[in-house]
Amino acid sequence: MNSPCLAVCWARGNGIWGIRVYHGLAQGGILESIYNFNPNKSQGWHSGMVFADADKNSGVDCTTGGSATDQYVNLYYRNLTTGDLGHSYWDQPNDVTQSGSWNYVTENNAASEPPANGSSIKAIQDPGQNNVYTFWQGEDGYIKEGTTALWPPSPVSAPQNVSTSAVLEGTRFGTTYVDAENMPLLVYQNGSGIINGATVDRNGRVQARVFLN
């Protein structure tokens, strides 16, 4: 299946210690596959949640982190039912005798700038702050960015345009965090197929642009 719908994240803590993989299903939706290292949980690979309302033909990404009492897995995708940015999160108490649960965040701020069908979706954490930067391609072709808290999970801020024009339809994104600049770097293809990059500050403002070819 030719789809950007694949993501992996890792966490080590009292509540969550292991790997989470999210991928599109041929019959529709997104499947969570879990590998636990925690001796108090089921060991090895096993299937977790199926997100039936998630678009298998669009992107997905995840982040992990938590507080002194709870750990979270945040999952971002395109909601196939509404067409909006979807945001589900797993809330796992650090007391492993307690059960965790999946919950849903209604992304009101992003409703006016929904992901395009087939859009990549990337989310990256700020290791020095409780911030998550989420990127997607809007229906107008521009790359959007919204910032939110890693925990407790909350809606993204009003989306900002990262690209200065519409980019290549269905472009794939690459992201990394630049510690020296304290901001994420996003790499994508513009409308002419040129590889571009942009760094974004904690308020969602583009600080620098680079052209790689």
How do residues 180-212 score in pLDDT, each as one tens digit? 678 899 998 887 778 888 888 877 778 888 777
Question: What is the CATH number assigned to the segment(s) 6-170?
Answer: 2.120.10.70
**Which pTM value belongs to this model?**
0.93
Work out whether strand 143-149 and strand 160-161 pair parallel, antiparallel, or are unpaired. Answer: antiparallel
Residue positions counted in the chain: 213
Instruction: Determine the number of helices (DSSP H) and then strands (DSSP E) in the chain.
Output: 0, 16
* SS3 assignment, position 83: coil
Residue 83's closest CA among 123, 49, 113, 63? 113
Q: Give pLDDT tens digits for 116-159.
A: 999 999 999 988 778 899 999 999 999 999 999 888 899 999 99
Tokens representing residue 186 in the block: 């996003």
Residue 88's closest CA among 162, 177, 20? 20
Amino acid identity, position 179: D
Question: What are the boundaries of each domain within the chain?
Answer: 6-170
DSSP label at residue 116 = P
